[in-house]
């Protein structure tokens, strides 16, 4: 039995891991690389044959976890994609929307390529392929134990990250060996996030594959972030500008609507106009309203009283391109929520183009911005950015409200691990940049846990000592051969790295 890591390992996006057990291959997530990760790894090819994958277990519908499923289908995968019922519903819309974005972006690139005399390129996949892939989705409930094949069972627990997001408990029984329990965290949610329940605590595991996105930092108290958002809107409107919120269409947009709904109802924000400019966000909001059984107690109580927390006077959903263009022409007094959350594609780029250069406007980030994305560039203080080939000055006031993130922070991640009463033997860290992974590994070890940072292409063996030894040798050879490309590396640094590899693999 072993696990191979092909995405979101030493980076945040492109979540993709393969489990091999009882002669079957199970894919944990199949997400898009974004930003710098996309430039370095690319999305066009898989380092494995999709035809050999028997099942996909999908933790949640965000595009960095689901976005390459249509490509997997395109290249030959035809098995079941197992997810919660809410994730399956959201993913059906997301994959079609993602295919549409792929087509639109490719069409724009091809116009430029034709003017340069270059050959046309094909989209990664189309909306039609997204639709066809959605037929493979099989939704199950939380706490329902499902046997995918002999010796392999799974059970979903609420991850508290997004409607339907799941922590996956995996029970594996190989011939003549004891049962092994592996927990795949997916993305662990922040506590007290609107609408969602807090992440489930799992009591035992032999091994954990765990995210580490915010493994090196803590969030502000979420209620303070709510108040901060209201203050930003008030101050921006006084200056005569707009508030633009780049937001993931699925999850974060609904949470922001929920927060604004509270401020409208308690009269903190009066006569406010909020434009949600994303057809996917509109569709996702309808899906949220369908799955109130996934809500936390507060949100469910509001619905049962007849108060829809995802609707209020002054909230407008735009669908057509013409409606979106009209929003672009609004000069002041508007809150514009649009996707994508990292500003890499979609209508948000148009709204940034019309507002970034204006000193009276504000841009508010409410989610993680991966390295190499337009959103990260703005957040890091760039004075000028390129949008649709045009240089745009960054004069607007830039705000970051990480407390609204759907990800647990360093403290939340550690508390989740401390909830285990038995185990784990080792925690395999993924879904974090190298600094976050390194910092969180150190924190775990300081608290008595054994942890290992997984990288792209690494293989981790369970109950196979001989193969583990071979893997250790391969890792040492790979590291030693890379030393020639390193400048000013000391003997002590080399010895420390070698020691860490041997320690990770229980050789010393």
The model's pLDDT over 310-369, given as tens digits with 9 standing for 90+, comes to: 999 999 999 899 999 999 999 999 999 998 888 888 899 999 999 999 999 999 999 888
* Three-class secondary structure of residue 151 per DSSP: coil
pLDDT tens per residue, range 92-113? 999 999 999 899 889 988 998 9
pLDDT tops 50 at residue 506: no
Strand runs (DSSP E) across 125-179, as ranges? 137-140, 146-149, 152-158, 166-172
Judge residue 289's burial from the number of C-beta atoms within 10 Å of its C-beta, 0-12 exposed, 13-18 middle, 19 or more buried: middle
Judge residue 271's burial from the number of C-beta atoms within 10 Å of its C-beta, 0-12 exposed, 13-18 middle, 19 or more buried: exposed
Reading the block at residue 413, the tokens are 């991640």
pLDDT at 505: 54
Q: What is the mean predicted confidence (pLDDT) over 179-197?
A: 95
**Are residues 124 and 134 in contact, defined by beta-carbon separation less than 8 angstroms?**
no
What is the dihedral sign for C-alpha 299, 300, 305, 310?
A: positive
**Are residues 309 and 289 in contact, defined by beta-carbon separation less than 8 angstroms?**
no
CB atoms within 10 A of CB 69: 30
**Are residues 22 and 174 in contact, defined by beta-carbon separation less than 8 angstroms?**
yes
**Structural domains of the chain, ranges and CATH numbers in brackets:** 2-217+406-463 (3.60.15.10), 222-404 (3.40.50.10890), 465-508 (no CATH)
pLDDT tens per residue, range 391-434? 999 999 999 998 888 899 999 999 999 999 987 999 999 999 99
CA distance 70 to 87: 16
| pLDDT interval class at 58 (50, 70, 90) | very high
Reading the block at residue 431, the tokens are 């879904």
| pLDDT interval class at 200 (50, 70, 90) | very high
Window from 12-21, 45-54, 473-482 with minimum mean pLDDT: 473-482
**Are residues 281 and 253 in contact, defined by beta-carbon separation less than 8 angstroms?**
yes
Window from 115-129, 155-169, 439-453, 474-488 with minimum mean pLDDT: 474-488
Whole-number average pLDDT of the chain: 92
| pLDDT interval class at 477 (50, 70, 90) | low
Note the pTM of the prediction, 2 decimals: 0.86
pLDDT tops 80 at residue 230: yes
**Pairing between β-strand 362-365 and β-strand 243-246 as defined by DSSP bridges:** parallel
Reading the block at residue 196, the tokens are 């969602």
pLDDT at 472: 63
DSSP label at 295? B
pLDDT more than 70, % of the chain: 93
């Amino acid at each position: 039995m072993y696990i191979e890591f092909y995405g979101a390992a030493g980076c945040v996006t492109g979540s993709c891991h393969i489990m091999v057990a009882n002669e079957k291959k199970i894919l944990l997530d199949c997400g898009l690389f974004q930003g710098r990760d996309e430039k370095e790894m690319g999305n066009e090819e898989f380092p494995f044959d999709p035809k050999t994958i028997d099942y996909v277990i999908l933790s949640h519908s965000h595009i960095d976890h689901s976005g390459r499923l249509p490509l997997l289908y395109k290249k030959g995968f035809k098995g079941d994609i197992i997810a919660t019922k809410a994730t399956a519903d959201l993913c059906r819309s997301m994959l079609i929307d993602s295919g549409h974005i792929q087509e639109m972006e490719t069409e724009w690139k091809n116009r430029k390529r034709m003017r340069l005399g270059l050959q046309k390129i094909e989209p990664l996949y189309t909306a039609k392929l997204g639709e066809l892939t959605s037929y493979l989705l099989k939704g199950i409930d939380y706490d329902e134990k499902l046997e995918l094949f002999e010796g392999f069972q799974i059970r979903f627990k609420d991850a508290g990250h997004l409607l339907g997001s799941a922590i996956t408990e995996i029970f594996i029984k190989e011939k003549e060996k004891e049962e092994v329990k592996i927990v795949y965290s997916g993305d662990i949610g922040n506590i007290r996030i609107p609408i969602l329940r807090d992440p489930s605590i799992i009591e035992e595991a032999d091994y954990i594959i765990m995210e580490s996105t915010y493994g090196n930092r803590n969030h502000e108290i979420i209620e303070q972030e709510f108040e901060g958002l209201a203050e930003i809107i008030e101050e921006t409107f006084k200056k005569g500008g707009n508030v633009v919120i780049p937001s993931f269409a699925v999850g974060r947009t609904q949470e922001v609507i929920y927060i604004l709904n509270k401020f409208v109802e308690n009269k903190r924000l009066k006569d406010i106009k909020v434009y949600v400019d994303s057809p996917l966000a509109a569709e996702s909001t309808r899906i949220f309203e369908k799955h109130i059984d996934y809500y936390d107690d507060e949100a469910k109580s509001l619905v049962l009283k007849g108060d829809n927390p995802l609707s209020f006077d002054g909230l407008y959903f735009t669908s057509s391109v013409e409606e979106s263009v009209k929003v672009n022409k609004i000069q002041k007094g508007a809150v514009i929520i649009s996707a994508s959350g990292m500003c890499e594609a979609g209508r948000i780029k148009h709204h940034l183009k019309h507002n970034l250069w204006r000193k009276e406007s504000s841009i508010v980030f409410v989610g993680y911005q991966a390295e190499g994305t337009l959103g990260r560039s703005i957040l890091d203080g760039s004075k000028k950015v390129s949008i649709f080939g045009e240089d745009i000055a960054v004069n607007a006031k830039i705000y970051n409200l990480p407390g609204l993130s759907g990800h647990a922070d360093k403290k939340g991640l550690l508390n989740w691990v401390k909830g285990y009463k038995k185990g784990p033997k080792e925690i395999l860290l993924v879904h974090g940049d190298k600094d976050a992974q390194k910092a969180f590994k150190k924190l775990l070890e300081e608290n008595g846990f054994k942890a290992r940072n997984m990288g792209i292409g690494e293989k981790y063996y369970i109950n196979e000592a001989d193969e583990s030894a071979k893997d250790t040798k391969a890792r040492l050879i790979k590291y030693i051969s890379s030393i020639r490309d390193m400048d000013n590396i000391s003997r002590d640094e080399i010895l420390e790295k070698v020691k860490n590899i041997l320690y990770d693999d229980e050789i010393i």
